[in-house]
Structure 1
Amino acid sequence: MDKLVCIKDFMLAVENIWDSNLNAYYNCGADDEITVQENRDAFIRWKLRPRLLRGVSKRSLFTTVLGKPVNFPVGIAPTAMHQMAHPEGELATARAADNSGTIFIQSLHSTYSIEEVAHAAPNSRKWLQMALIKDRNKMIEVALRAKRVGFEAIVLSVDTCTFGIRRNIRRLPFKLPAGIRLANLEEDEMNVNPDGFNFTQHSELTLDCGATWDLIQFLKSATDMPIIAKGIQTFEDAVLAVNNGADAIFVSNHGGRQLDGVIPTIDILQEVVESVGEHVEVYVDGGVMRGSDVFKAIAIGAKMAFIGRPILWGLGVGGQEGVQKVLNILKEELDITMALTGVRSVSEISPEFVRTVTQLKTLKTKC
């Protein structure tokens, strides 16, 4: 692992570690997988505008999220079934997040339970991702379990009324490996089906295409927990989410795994921040591969950037140590980017430090 010096190195390393089943599940996107790549490419179109000789010998990456501290503005986005990547699964991921002083969002479809993760990292900052499932009682029951063991918030994936068409998974088809369970949903049919976990069956059985925005207020009133609306891709839906009680907005297109051909998340971020950023915090994921990507997201207006696949790549290469190194790489890259752009603290990162190529052409200059 000493030779892995950037996130792309981890991405390439796991290709030789994971089998085709695992590679297909973790790395696939919807349809032609255009959005998976465009999420990454879009960051390249945003250019840095470094300011020089600004006295940056001392720098701080510290910030606050939902009123509580994090050591740097990179968190772990919800991804399912970590135990497929490493035997310690979400336990290793949560411990690495704790050591880094950042937030771990545990997926509802995790392979270790909420309680097991809380026991493994009792002092860490943890949020629980919740899908749009039909059984409202089940949603409340799981959310209250999470609250009892120290989870701070519910991250409601508003873009999961059904699964996108993931062709690589259908070609195999993907099955849960032997001994892997969905620990928070153990009584569900998907865990006992002798033919393995089937996405289409899971969608038909559990996900709810009839959900509406009032679900946010329902969850808030039933759990008394902050609700973060994840999967927002337009300013119109950001406004609707906030008007219906969302405590934060999470700009995401599910890593390109739901609907192909949508706008890359970094390009959506500005309109969402301009529409609701004065009222709630805004987070973003999708395509983050470098510390400079994190810098760009913060400059546009995100309070926090989250990473999904890179965490799984780190987990697959080296378990908790691999996840820790992925986070450390991004932290160092962000720190160096701040130094070279003339920024002493995360709070100083502002829109003046980034432009798209189109925006650069319209800059007004005067002496």
Structure 2
Amino acid sequence: MAKNSSDVPAVHKRWFWPGAINGIEGLQLVDAEVERPAAGEGQSPQSPIATLTWYADDLLVLVRIHAVSLNYREVVIAGGKYPSISIPEALTPACDCAGEVVAVGPGTDRWHVGNRVTSMVYVADISEGMRSSVMGTTMGAGVQGTLMEYRVFPAHALVRVPDGLSLQDVATFPCAGTTAYNALFGGAHPLTPGETVVVQGTGGVSQFGAQIAYASGAKVIVTSSSDEKLAQIKKLLGDDETINYKTHPDWHERVLKLTNGRGAEHVLDVVGGASLSRSLKALTYGGSVSVIGFLDSINSGINLIDVIANGANVRGITAGTPNHLRALLRLYEVRKLRPVIARTFEFEQVKEAMRMLESQDFIGKIVVNVVGTNDS
């Protein structure tokens, strides 16, 4: 590649499943060749494990990864339960990262050695908007992921990191952050100040949704089954109201009471299953339910009368576009916000990090430091 940084090694470390995916304990940390294909070749060097996926027409950028964040999706994939996408063998997990450009391919004018960057979830170009065909290019699922020291990206799959934000913080943004931002601002009725947002749970998407909504002048209601987590989230994020859905199984009625019968303009549903029916009942007329996850079930059995009677907008969300990510970065920089990071692990502790992720016994995001903490 042209314009190389002089300190790029020939070999780096990456996590992967040798052969078929076989759970968290099957992950291995191995040495592999740092891949540096020239733009347009559409090939990569031979390696002892599966190579990355290249697109012959892409301009390519080599990034030294400083930090990776994990999403619950990684646990689902490790358990062999991820729907819809064909998962390759010898997969490196994770889709979120932030780092530094160390080399760029010929003809790549947008990026330069030393630029601080974060990545999109997809390696396909979604700068003009999302489309279903890109799902197979999801890193850590359809193509190789980010739990490695160096990775080549298409130039269009990177976004610049503002100077005021750390790479550890920004590594949490690509999946959970853009998903929440897209849910609140990417639909037909973007969030406006004074509206009510219901956020389910206290994980990555949920904490981003609560932070973004609160910073945008909305009233925020967070639901969880844990009073302890609700107390923590209220202290951390300053949310207006909380609901324990075990204490209040018909939590939508509580939402209606808290909004004087009006209902919420936005509900971020990360649970799926039977929860979706309650999300619809919690809406004001014409409100939006963003269907983001399926922690309960992928089958909802919703009553269409709840959709019709509430004039509901039901929108599936996977992640966001580069413009969503840029807007999110600006919001956090200008408002001096920080994502909630539950714990940071070292690169050698990925299995421990995955086990914590599987437990769901935390608030916010889990980050893996790849090259240490002195990166900002």
Same structural fold, with TM-score higher than 0.5 when normalized by the shorter chain: no
Higher relative contact order at CA 8 Å, sep ≥6: structure 1 or structure 2?
1
User: Which has more strand, going by share of residues?
Assistant: 2
User: Which has more helix, going by share of residues?
Assistant: 1
TM-score scaled by length of structure 1: 0.30
TM-score scaled by length of structure 2: 0.30
